[in-house]
Amino acid sequence: MTVNQIDAAGVASKRMTAPVRDRLAEDKAMLRSAAELTRDLLKPRPAVYWTDLIASCVVGYGALFASMTLAASGWAVVGFVVAVLALYRAASFIHEVSHMKHSALPGFRLGWNVLVGVPLMAPSFMYEGVHNLHHQRTRYGTVEDPEYLPLAHMKPWSVPLFVLVAALGPIGFLIRFGILTPLSLFSPALRREVEARFSALAINPDFRRRPAEGEARKLWWRYEIAASAWAIGIVAATVAGIVPINAFLIYLAAISLLMVVNQVRTLVAHLWENEGEVMSVTAQYLDSVNVPPPGMLPFLWAPVGLRYHALHHLLPGLPYHSLGEAHRRLSRALEPQSPFHAANHRGLPGLLLRLVRGTFGLR
């Protein structure tokens, strides 16, 4: 989305608000403490990753199968909800896959794609090489950030529309992999368009992805072909009567609700108050959100370390299982006046209310 398009959509003027302007300077003490106090937490623990992922998949697919096979009842609904939450947790590992050094967790990317990425039609190449751009200091919060929109300054209808788009996600995935992938094999022009516009889990509609190269391109093709075969196969199996239509619809509904939950989480992952300015790391941290304990609900709606999203922007190389300990250390070490504490928020309702109030011009 260009600057003019943003203004046309109802974004306020480009003038930065006073709170954001005041945050532009780096808090070097915070940055230094963050680096020094977490050096021993950088190593990922394969047993934690694999156990968490496999357990989430077993619970998720088991509950999904139960919801498909049980007669319409309260237990079928319970199974569906459990399936969505467990598969949402499993799907959230795509964030870790996009950050990890794969030599430290050999086979995990492949395992995640086999267990989650391909079956849910969101293979890792849709996020790898895209999410990393969101962490580039001079790109974050600008029109070149694939994962940022100034939602707090947009029209009130932007928030529900943002969620509605996610609800239609599984239909988009079926079209992307079941139709566009095979057609693009016969049209170079269509292939360029598919790669640029329909190959990224991004929220910025103006983002255009550059073609992958080298080993990344080989992995892209491997997982795209697998996802295409899955999408075509499951539709064909449903049409042929091999997969019951109700099971197919429950499968799509689970992906849709999973994506809605993630989109709501995305709404509160940042404050979305930047209007295109380049921000310091400290400012990016303060525009992001931590929802630390004692609240327990973020364990469900912000799993796999996502409740510490601001801390993740401060220390993007930290594995998810280390974020809680890192947050505790920094909370104890940094004085109350440190901006570190300003990124901590109580929960989802207050953050959503703040965002909605922003869209109505209320601060």
Instruction: Answer with the one of 267, 292, 310 that is the final residue of a domain.
Output: 267
Residue of 118, 138, 115, 135 whose CA lies nearest to 126: 118
Q: What integer best gives the mean pLDDT of the chain?
A: 92
160 and 262 both lie in a single domain: yes
22 and 110 both lie in a single domain: no
Is 114 a domain residue?
A: yes
Q: How far apart are CA 351 and CA 114, in angstroms?
A: 35
137 and 219 both lie in a single domain: yes
* Counted domains in the chain: 2
Q: Please say if the pLDDT value at position 289 is more than 60.
A: yes
Is 2 a domain residue?
A: no
Q: Please say if the pLDDT value at position 17 is more than 80.
A: no
The predicted-structure confidence for 192-235, as pLDDT tens digits, reads as follows 999 999 999 999 999 999 999 999 999 999 999 999 999 999 99
Is 4 a domain residue?
A: no
What is the reported pLDDT for 3?
Answer: 31
21 and 116 both lie in a single domain: no
Instruction: Answer with the one of 213, 236, 267 that is the final residue of a domain.
Output: 267
303 HSE (CA, 13 A, CB side): 20
282 and 164 both lie in a single domain: no
What is the reported pLDDT for 25?
Answer: 80
Q: How far apart are CA 288 and CA 342, in angstroms?
A: 10
225 and 324 both lie in a single domain: no
Percent of the chain residues past pLDDT 70, beyond the cut? 93
169 and 295 both lie in a single domain: no
The residues that bridge with 308 in the sheet, in sequence order, are 290
Is 6 a domain residue?
A: no
The residues that bridge with 270 in the sheet, in sequence order, are 288
As a whole number, mean pLDDT of residues 318-342 equals 97
Is 120 a domain residue?
A: yes
Residues spanned by the domain of 292: 17-42+270-359
Q: How confident is the model at residue 24 (pLDDT cuts 50, 70, 90)?
A: low
Residue of 89, 96, 87, 93 whose CA lies nearest to 120: 87
275 and 304 both lie in a single domain: yes
Instruction: Answer with the one of 240, 267, 294 that is the final residue of a domain.
Output: 267
Tokens 């207050």 locate to: 350
Q: Please say if the pLDDT value at position 139 is more than 50.
A: yes
- Residues 6 or more apart in contact with residue 215 via CB below 8 angstroms: none
30 and 71 both lie in a single domain: no
22 and 122 both lie in a single domain: no
Is 9 a domain residue?
A: no
57 and 181 both lie in a single domain: yes
The predicted-structure confidence for 70-115, as pLDDT tens digits, reads as follows 978 899 999 999 999 999 999 999 999 999 999 999 999 999 999 9
The predicted-structure confidence for 263-282, as pLDDT tens digits, reads as follows 999 999 999 999 999 999 99
What is the reported pLDDT for 96?
Answer: 98
Helices and strands counted in the chain (H then E): 19, 0
Higher pLDDT, 121 or 23: 121
Is 1 a domain residue?
A: no
Q: Please say if the pLDDT value at position 2 is more than 70.
A: no
263 and 276 both lie in a single domain: no
Is 7 a domain residue?
A: no
- Residues 6 or more apart in contact with residue 311 via CB below 8 angstroms: 285, 290, 318, 323, 326, 327, 330, 343
